[in-house]
Amino acid sequence: MTDENISGSTSMPPRPGIRYRRTTPAFVQRTAQARKVLVLLFGGLGDVVHSFPALWSIRRAYPQAQLDVLTAGSYTPLLTLLPWIDGRMAYASRKAGLTLNELRHIGALRRTGYDVSINLTGNNHGSVLAWAAGARARLGRRPFWDGKKGWRWLQSEVMDFRYEQEPMYRQWLECLAQAGFANDSQFNIELPPQALQASGVTEAEQGSYLHISPNTTDDARQLPVAQMVELLQDLHRRLPQYRMVLTSMGSERERARMDAILGQLGFEPWKVFIGSLDVVQLSALIRGAALHLSGDTGPLHLAWMLDVPSVSWFRIKHDNKEYLPPPPLHRALLGESESPSVLNGIPTAALSEAAVELLGSAAAASAARLAAV
């Protein structure tokens, strides 16, 4: 996946009383001989997906170096899609303080002897870990909430690109460009062919099903159960040529919600997976789908990464631009909801119609490609 560079990008405006050393394009040149590079990536599954172009840019800048990534433990398997990453390390907590496990990490990081650390999110937690790891060149982003001082003093140079106006992966590329890294959005992933086997879906069955993630980790981003059932039933009626595959995480809350949805459906989905697929297997399953449907959640970002058409539903927020998948391959519908426990305000008919239109567009594009051969 590639796109054009953003023109006219600006850094965040300076604020009185906040002083720090801004990075320059000379950073990459000064550190070009680094033998070991550490990237600290704090965030959710979507952030890990959005980091792939930035990680590839870092890899290109240090082709000879050992490149390690520290991220949340549940998401480290996704980094196996990047065979050019050397080390994948998990952290177990995002608490304000340092846990015993993280103190052990610090000891291991110091023994490794990193020359460069890059803190993509720039938060204080990552700043402390980067400083404690002992790298002399510590590059980090100015955080969105920058009232605490740690990010200024613990990072030797700071990237300061604005928030909320571009997709997160573009923001990170623009940040790195300030330090002299290449600014092109290549994902360079390699999905192992055996990953699809765990789902029981064959290569021949790819493109014959819809993938639906009805749950999210946050209740406020989920459609009501009754509306989810209505949407699935309408798609089943309007698109009988496509089978349905439903997936969710295995938490007690998500199991209960999935049970409620399945109990009210008037048909049986082709396949249902509740906490039984790892993130790489889930990626393979999504890649084989004709269309993905979900709220603002991790599987949506996997669909976007894999160029699988998607229909999604989002609550209107100040940072929607950072994670909304772009048209024309993706349709995101936004709703304003007064309820903190469920997402209302998006008509079922609009979601269903978007799915039908996207599938029609995809089929027409496929026919055009075949005719051109």
Where are the domains positioned within the chain? 26-178, 193-372
Whose CA is closest to 170, among 32, 278, 321? Answer: 321
pLDDT tens digits for 224-282? 999 999 999 999 999 999 999 999 999 999 999 999 999 999 999 999 999 999 999 99
What local confidence, expressed as pLDDT, does residue 146 receive?
84
Q: Is the pLDDT of residue 25 over 60?
A: yes
Residues 6+ apart with CB under 8 A from 332: 311, 312, 313, 314, 324, 325
Examine domains 26-178 and 193-372 and report if their fold is the same: yes
The second-level CATH assignment, the architecture, of 26-178 is 3-Layer(aba) Sandwich (3.40)
What local confidence, expressed as pLDDT, does residue 338 receive?
81
Model confidence at 191, in pLDDT bands (50, 70, 90)?
A: very high
Model confidence at 370, in pLDDT bands (50, 70, 90)?
A: very low
- Please give the model's pTM, rounded to 2 decimal places: 0.89
Give the residue-averaged pLDDT of 193-222.
94
For tokens 């406020």, the residue is 220
CATH of domain 193-372: 3.40.50.2000
Whose CA is closest to 116, among 40, 21, 41? Answer: 40
User: C-alpha 273: how far from its chain's center?
Assistant: 21
pLDDT tens digits for 198-208? 999 999 999 99
pLDDT tens digits for 29-54? 999 999 999 999 988 899 999 999 99
Task: Provide, rounded to the nearest whole percent, the portion of the chain with pLDDT above 90.
Answer: 71
First to last CA, the chain: 22
What local confidence, expressed as pLDDT, does residue 108 receive?
83
